[in-house]
Amino acid sequence: MIFISAIGQDSHRFVNEETSSSSERRLMLGGIEILGTPALEGNSDADVVLHALTNALSGLSAVPVLGRKADIMCESGITDSSTYVRVALETLDDIRLTHLSFSIEAKRPHLAEHIVAMRENIAQLTGLPVKNVAITATSGEGLTAFGRGEGIACTCIASAYRPSER
Ligand SMILES: [Zn+2]
């Protein structure tokens, strides 16, 4: 058995609240709808947490999903980022995912009250126990665009194992 790990990262800026008429667009984080904060810009639902997860899964399998594959799905109207995660999970083949750790940097929204719901949703999506899905959040103290509230960034580390090479 070989233990492997991979990193995934993503960031999106908030929609411009003055110029955009995107009142029907909602902020999605970890597959959870969060009220009271503007949506993030993007062709898809711009779920930065699920995009970081998709990239981390691609890091395990070395098969990219965000980019061309997701763009094609987006063009056909599939904007739910959970679908991108499912496609990335299919690329794992005989790799067994064991643990996910997320770090979110955002000045807004206040994430503490949403972390349990995000962990539960990601656990359900990936088939992991909730205890193996960890999420921390930091406000970034205004040092970056994310810490200043211009957008949200997320990093994900995925741990897994695969059978030994023959
Ligand atoms: Zn993204």
User: What is the rounded distance in angstroms from the CA atom of residue 84 to the CA atom of residue 60?
Assistant: 15
The pTM (predicted TM-score) of the whole model is 0.94
pLDDT of 24 strictly over 90:
no
d(CA 125, CA 44): 18
Cα-to-centroid distance, 165 and ligand 1 (Å):
33
How do residues 36-92 score in pLDDT, each as one tens digit?
999 999 989 999 999 999 999 999 999 999 988 888 888 888 899 999 999 999 999
Query: What residues are neighbours of ligand 1 (ion), with CB under 5 Å?
Result: 10, 51
8 Å CB contact between 90 and 60: no
Ligand 1 centroid to 12 CA: how many Å? 6
Q: Can you list the domains of the chain with their CATH numbers?
A: 2-162 (3.30.1330.50)
Mean pLDDT of the chain: 93
Cα–ligand 1 centroid distance for 1 (angstroms):
32
| Ligand 1 centre distance from Cα of residue 10 (Å) | 5
Instruction: Compute the distance from residue 50 Cα to the ligand 1 centre, in Å.
Output: 8
- Cis peptide leading into residue 109 (ω within 30°): yes
Q: Distance from the CA of 116 to the center of ligand 1, in angstroms?
A: 22
**Percent composition of the chain: helix, strand, coil (DSSP 3-state, to 5):** 30, 30, 40
pLDDT score of 75? 87
Q: What pLDDT does 154 receive?
A: 98
